[in-house]
Amino acid sequence: MLYSLCYPLMWMLAYGHQKYHWCLVVTKRRPKLLLQTVVRPESHYHRQCNWLKRADIELLSWFSLSLAARYTLRLFERPTRMPCLSQDLAFEAQSVFDELTFSGHKVRVYRHEPECPNGQTLLLLHGWEGRSVMFRPLLTKLLSHGYRLILPDLLAHGHSEGSRCSFYELSSLILELDRRYGSFDAAIGHSFGGTALAIALDQGLTLKKMVTIGSPNGFGNMIDAYIDYFHYPSSLKAQLKHLYTRQQGKNPDDIGPPLWGRLNLPTLICHDSNDVVIKIQEAHDMHASFPNSQLCITSGRGHRGVLRDHQLHNAVLGFLSAA
């Protein structure tokens, strides 16, 4: 396909781009800090990559919606490993971690033990194309309040192995972490991490409380948002859900409002009003569906920046500590 054919060329361009940065630094026209940025097609030619993928999908759609759906599923479940800030890499290097083998891949799991434990263990799940260190601003506050924290880099993310990340595999990983580290008292999921938690709850995970941050109103809605965000043909929404139903035996739309109504655990639904990835209406719809939920709306932070918001931190701490 076009994307596969053009990708080696984009890597060559990225290599030349990186060498150009090196020349700028050597000639003292730019600071050395510039060399800390790794030029990659996915990060520096993001628009071109997305255009090629969209062209592939539209071409396939003319021949067969089924083929286009399978190709879209392959893209959907193959995240791009994004660059990590130097201070985050330093924080990871100082953190204690285990490495588990799951589905033939090593999964890195960070463990943070508080100085004064309160006896509660929390699971924190990052979002798509993220990594666990994104929780660092919230993590330090949770530790100071005595919570033991378990943070995996999910399959094909961060320091974990793999190139593919299936949502139903992730729910099995969550259940495995629950068995290994003792039952979690509560869990916090950002973006698709909240969706993975929902699937795990449907498959038997037991929690006392749950926090979602910038999460879609169900797995089906997440598929719809993915198709809309990348401007793929709308006809693929139903086809992709049909493909998931055939593979997993469950319609993605069932992981949403039909499930929320059966979950009585206290749930804090957090969202930023300026989130352009998952619209704020998703949070209001979730709040209306969960029988025992609270809503925390922040402003001006966006989809990932919300993890640094002090209002959100205080809301999470207050929610977790409430009887």
- Name the band, by pLDDT with cuts 50, 70 and 90, for residue 22: confident
Least reliable range by pLDDT among 43-57, 83-97, 229-243, 273-287? 43-57
The proportion of the chain whose per-residue pLDDT surpasses 70, expressed as a percent, equals 93
Greater pLDDT, 17 or 57 = 57
* 56-63 contacts, C-beta under 8 A, 24 or more apart: 56/1, 56/2, 56/3, 57/232, 57/233, 57/236, 58/232, 58/233, 59/1, 59/2, 60/1, 61/233, 61/235, 61/236
Structural tokens at position 147: 């919570």
pLDDT tens digits, residue range 242-296? 998 998 888 999 999 999 999 889 999 999 999 998 999 999 999 999 999 999 9
State the burial class of residue 193 (Cβ atoms within 10 Å of its Cβ: 0-12, 13-18, 19+). Answer: buried
pLDDT at 101: 94
- Residue 11 clears pLDDT 70, i.e. is over it: no
- Rounded distance between C-alpha atoms, residue 124 and residue 194, angstroms: 10
Q: Supply the pLDDT for residue 240.
A: 93
pLDDT at position 14? 74
